[in-house]
A and B are shown apart, each in its own frame.
Chain A
Amino acid sequence: MESVKTQQPAEEPLHSASSGPNHTQNWQNRVKQLFNSSLVAAALLVLIVIFSIVTPTFLSQENIATVFDSVAVIATLSVGQAFVIITAGIDLSQGAVVAISGVIGAAVMVHGGIALGILTFLAVGVGVGLFNGLLVAYTKVPAFIVTLGSLSICSGGALLFTGGEPIYNLPSSLVSFGTGAFFGVFPYIILVTVIVAIAGQILLGMTRFGRSVYAIGSNQTAALLSGLSVRKSIVLVYLISGVLSAIGGLMLTAYVNTALPTAGANFELDAIAAVVIGGGSLFGGQGSVWAATLGALLLSVLSNGTQLLGMSSYAQILILGVVVIGAVYIDSFRKRGGI
């Protein structure tokens, strides 16, 4: 009874911000909330507005398709990377998994048909993911080193497997998956990305597994003392990252109609950047799948827009670096202010 008496009057009921009678205020509140809850969504909106004003072609159907095509693989990878980073880990092997799953999967596809090929892609992803996950969860080797090692193993493996040569002559059904579109308007690879992102966000945000991902990243000892299966969850997180990287490999192979042993180089860095731009913290416990995919989209919009403005691709790479650091810097202020 005492607890009721001593409790301070609640300053604000839970949903007051969205239930005010004043509509202007309501709208302003929503924008404010958007900026507060997701800097990346706000920044993306600002970029889109700017680019559509200063370049005539930005909002053309053709250009929008380009933006989406270029974001598909990175966004898929960033979903897996988000899971890993929220547990305070990191997966540097993603790009190399794109390469090795690409060449092995494509080779099987050429000889054994598309279904067996797709299974091979996934199997390679499962294999590398388990390798990473088991080592991170059950040994004291840090995730950075484990995945740096598997990066090297996978890229070396991919080059050895093909002797450095690309693999052509892929089945036509794969090509139509890579370049075709659902009802002629919605490209299949974008569709896959959207499905992956939605499934990832549900898994992370709405399940017990997702909750343990946050808890492990926030305080592993506390997670252990609360009875969570910490190691199992860590293995699963790297498994997800491995499988999504293989799916990324499949998408890329289908899109370019070739499997290159050097494909996917540095993709993991873009995926990490996407997660971090989306508010993820490398110290764990923070981030989300949807913010990570928005981060990937932001990177893509930025490089596309600057290209339309006539900047060289070298300058674009430079700008990217500035944006990543700037995003985390601004975010650090927001978080400090929020508490």
Chain B
Amino acid sequence: MIGVQDVSVRFGQTQALDRVNVEVSAGSIHALAGENGSGKSTLLKVLGGVIQPSVGHVILNGQPIALDNVRDGLQYGIGIVFQELSLFPHLSGFSNIVIGREPQHRGLLDDKTARNRVRQLWESVNFPNIDLARPVGELPVSEQQMVEILKCLYRSPRIVLFDEPTASLPRGESESLLQAIRNLRAAGYTIVFVSHHLDEVFSLADTVTVLRDGHVVLDSAVADVNQEQVMVSMLGRTFNEFYPVRSGVMEDRVFISLNQVVCDGIEPVDLEVHDGEILGIAGAVGSGASTLAEMIAGRRPMRSGEMRVADHVVRFRRPADALVVGIGYVPEDRRTEALLPNLPISTNGTLPLVAQTPSPLVGRGFLRFREERHAARRMVDHLGVRARNAQQVVASLSGGNQQKVIIGRWYLRDVHCLVLNNPTKGIDVGAKHEIYRYINELADSHHAVVCASAYNNELLGIADRIVVFYKGRMLGPFQRSELDEESLLRLTLVGTVDSGTLPSKGADGGQYGIS
């Protein structure tokens, strides 16, 4: 019924989709699977009219159609529900659902008709009970997601596209959403969804298409394949040669130790971070991997348990507390958490060093401009930042070079432990390589490095040990040598190494040696 024919999409240097053909049959649930960067979200966005293919067409009922935007999609009965909620938190569920299409009576809003229409819609898809009169900001995230779906349905599509519908949901709330999607199928809708979780694909979908590096590598009825086959098809070529080689090894000295540490969204964690090691934290978006990274860096409060840094018990209330004991942080979102966009590279790069007391760049409260210039130049050279000069405004750099400046902050203020949260998100291959090289160099010079990443290959390429988060629970730690692409992918997608058995803590301890 809906599909794409010979669709290619290019983003600059990257070929996101390469002559892809997919067909979705009416009234079915069709899953798009693949690793991060495989092109699955791009494909969904092409179907929804968010992204226009450079070559090829979207096909609807056998006819090629042109979708210039989401509005065009709706004209053809294609609705898309995005991963990030786009609701107005202060408005009620009703108002959010009908927004922009409010029934009117003589120029005034007709709330009664609106409510009736929403109720009819709600009953037709048999959704669970939600209080639609309350401001949606007060609802749990899973219910907000239902409102988002109803908002999409209100625009009367026949085809509904979901971009990672459960990614932003807390544990335990996703089952009601999955049920809601099944109800949609029962009500006659055609569903396409992108998912990070293989168990969702198998419990929900009729058909699965697996993408890898922009190509379709598997396209089959779910009944005809098992998780094993899907997983194998997701795995790409290995890029081991792409990752620089370590010269150092993990040392005995423990720098950070967590004992039954709990924070919002993750179950109790026992973990040690050693000097000279790169500890990888793997896990899909929303699994808790970046939550742990944020907690170690003092960005998120610890609810209970004990954290020790260099054998001293610590309790961080703010990032500055973590800095004092030598833990620096590279946040996930460069733009909102890290960059001073309108200020020069040099100011951006030297900020933590300037903030330090005492600081080599500050004398009696006054900045030492000459030392600062030298420091900035050192950072630019060492990290390989491509810029005209250190006075260039940082916003004018490419994403990769901006990230090098952000990491360069911690090169200048030499913290003993660096926590990186998805440090290579959205940057080009060359910059990635240089960042890996720098991370290796840190560990080789006896620093402790913690790196959370949603890219499994990256962790397999650089980490010495890896812990995996699956729906808020930590698995491992595993030695790098114990894992391969397949087992790590399996851990992040279904939470277990062997097909069939669920991981229990005892089994892990025996098999992989929890420290």
CA–CA, A34 and B303, complex, Å: 55
B-side contacts of A173, CB under 8 Å: none
Asked if residues A7 and B341 are in contact (CB atoms below 8 Å), the reply is no
The total of Cβ contacts below 8 Å across the A-B interface reads 107
Question: Measured between C-beta atoms, what is the minimum distance from B248 to chain A in Å?
Answer: 18
B342 touches A222 (CB 8 A): no
Are B354 and A211 within 8 A (Cβ)? yes
A209-B365 CB under 8 A given contacts A223-B351, A224-B318, A225-B331: yes
Residue pair A8, B386 in contact (C-beta under 8 Å): yes
Of B297, B320, B393, which is within 8 A of A339 by CB?
Answer: B393
Q: CA A224 – CA B320 in complex, angstroms?
A: 7
Task: Check A3–B355 contact: CB distance below 8 A.
Answer: no
Give the residues in chain A near B318, CB-CB below 8 Å. Answer: 224
Residues of A within 8 A of B386 (CB): 6-8
Given A208-B359, A222-B351, A10:B340 Cβ within 8 A? no
A316 to B347, CA, bound (A): 41
The verdict on A11 contacting chain B, using a C-beta distance below 8 Å, is yes
Known: A208-B365, A211-B367, A222-B340. A227 touches B384 (CB 8 A): no
Q: Chain B nearest CB: distance from A239 CB in Å?
A: 16
Q: Is the CB of A218 within 8 A of B342?
A: yes
Q: Are B362 and A228 in contact (CB under 8 A)?
A: no
CB-CB under 8 A from A7, the residues of chain B are: 381, 384, 386
Of the four ranges (under 10, 10 to 19, 20 to 34, 35 or more), the interface on chain B belongs to: 35 or more
Q: Does B146 belong to the interface (CB within 8 Å)?
A: no
For the complex, give the distance between the alpha carbons of A10 and B297 in Å: 36
Are B389 and A10 in contact (CB-based, < 8 A)? yes
In the bound complex, do residue A221 and residue B337 qualify as a contact, i.e. CB atoms below 8 Å apart?
A: yes
Given A218-B342, A222-B339, A224-B320, A3:B384 Cβ within 8 A: yes
Q: Looking at the assembled complex, report how far the CB atom of A217 sits from the nearest CB atom of chain B, in whole angstroms.
A: 9
**B297, B341, B343, B351 — which one has the most chain A CB atoms within 10 A of its CB?**
B351
- Contact among B323, B338, B389, B391 with A227 in the assembled complex (CB-CB below 8 Å): B323
When distances are taken between beta carbons in the complex, the residues of chain B under 8 Å from A2 are: 384, 434, 437
Is B71 an interface residue when CB atoms closer than 8 A count as contact?
no
| Interface residue ranges of A5-48 to B (CB < 8 Å) | 6-8, 10-14
Nearest Cβ on chain B to A64's Cβ, whole angstroms: 34
Q: Kindly state whether residue A215 has any CB partner on chain B within 8 Å.
A: yes
When the two chains form their complex, are residues B388 and A285 in contact, meaning their CB atoms are under 8 A apart? no
* A318 located at the interface, meaning its Cβ lies under 8 Å from any Cβ of chain B in the complex: no
A277-298 interface code vs B (CB 8 A; 1 in, 0 out)? 0000100011000000000000
Cα distance A10–B377 in the bound complex, in angstroms? 12
The chain A residue sitting closest to B331, CB to CB, is A225
Question: Distance (Å) between the CB of B437 and the closest chain A CB?
Answer: 7
For residue A218, which residue of chain B has the nearest CB?
A: B340
Q: In the complex, A103→B339 CA distance in Å?
A: 45
Q: Which residues on the B side are within 8 Å of A218 (C-beta)?
A: 340-343
From residue B350, how far is it (CB to closest CB) to chain A in Å? 9
B342 & A285 in contact (Cβ 8 Å cutoff):
yes
User: Which residue of chain A has the shortest Cβ distance to B389 in the bound complex?
Assistant: A14
Query: Is B388 touching A10 in the complex (CB atoms < 8 A)?
Result: yes
Interface residues of B in 235-252 (CB under 8 A from A): none
Question: A11: which B residues are within 8 A, CB to CB?
Answer: 388
CB of A4 within 8 A of chain B? yes
A285 touches B343 (CB 8 A): yes
- The complex places the Cα of A136 from the Cα of B324 at a distance, in Å, of 26
Q: Give min CB distance, B299 to chain A, whole Å.
A: 7
- List A305-339 residues whose CB lies under 8 Å from chain B: 338-339
What is the minimal beta-carbon distance from A287 to any residue of chain B, in angstroms?
A: 11
Q: Which residues of A contact B366 (CB under 8 A)?
A: 206-208
Report A-chain residues with C-beta under 8 Å of the C-beta of B367.
206-208, 210-211
CA distance A2 to B435 in the complex (A): 12
What residues of A have a CB within 8 angstroms of the CB of B299 in the complex? 225
Q: Within the assembled complex, what's the spacing in Å between the Cα atoms of A286 and B337?
A: 18
Residues of A within 8 A of B391 (CB): 14
Tell me the A77-102 residues at the B interface (CB within 8 Å). none
Closest B residue by C-beta to A4:
B381
State whether the Cβ of A219 lies closer than 8 Å to any Cβ in chain B: yes
Q: Which of A3, A12, A226, A338 contacts B382 (CB 8 A)?
A: A3
Give complex CA distance A255, B331 in Å. 53
A12 B389 Cβ-Cβ under 8 A: yes
Q: Does B69 contact A (CB under 8 A)?
A: no
B396 adjacent to chain A (CB < 8 Å): yes
A34 to B319, CA, bound (A): 40
Question: Which A residues between 182 and 222 are near B, CB-CB below 8 angstroms?
Answer: 206-212, 214-215, 218-219, 221-222
- B395 at interface by CB-CB < 8 Å: yes
| Chain A residues with CB under 8 A of B383 | 3
B contact residues around A224 at 8 Å (CB) = 318-320
**Contact pick for B365, options A4, A207, A215, A285, CB 8 Å:** A207
Q: Is A229 located at the chain interface by the 8 A CB criterion?
A: yes
CA distance A338 to B342 in the complex (A): 11
Q: Which residues of A contact B430 (CB under 8 A)?
A: 6
Give a binary string over B348-375; 1 marks a CB under 8 Å from any A CB, 0 the rest: 0001101110010010011101000000
Chain A, residue nearest B380 (CB): A7
Can you name the residue of chain A whose Cβ is closest to the Cβ of B365? A207
The listed residue (A3, A8, A221, A226) touching B351 by CB distance below 8 A is A226
Cross-chain contact A215 with B351 (CB below 8 angstroms): yes
A208–B371 Cα distance when bound, in Å, is 14
B423 to chain A, nearest CB (A): 14
Chain B residues closer than 8 Å to A215, beta-carbon distance? 340, 343, 347, 351
Residues of B within 8 Å of A227, CB to CB, are 319-320, 323-324, 352, 355-356
- Measured between beta carbons, the chain A residues less than 8 angstroms from B339 are 219, 222
**Which 10 A-B pairs rank lowest in CB-CB distance, beginning with the nearest?**
A3-B384, A218-B340, A226-B352, A227-B355, A227-B323, A226-B351, A228-B355, A221-B337, A227-B320, A225-B319
Jot down 26 A-B pairs with beta carbons below 8 A, ordered by A: A2-B384, A2-B434, A3-B383, A6-B430, A8-B386, A12-B388, A208-B355, A211-B347, A211-B351, A218-B341, A218-B343, A221-B331, A223-B351, A225-B297, A225-B299, A225-B319, A225-B329, A225-B331, A226-B355, A227-B320, A227-B323, A227-B355, A228-B320, A228-B351, A285-B340, A339-B395
Seed contacts A6-B386, A219-B338, A225-B331; 15 additional CB < 8 Å A-B pairs:
A2-B384, A3-B381, A6-B430, A208-B355, A208-B365, A211-B347, A211-B367, A214-B343, A215-B347, A223-B340, A225-B329, A226-B409, A227-B320, A228-B320, A285-B340
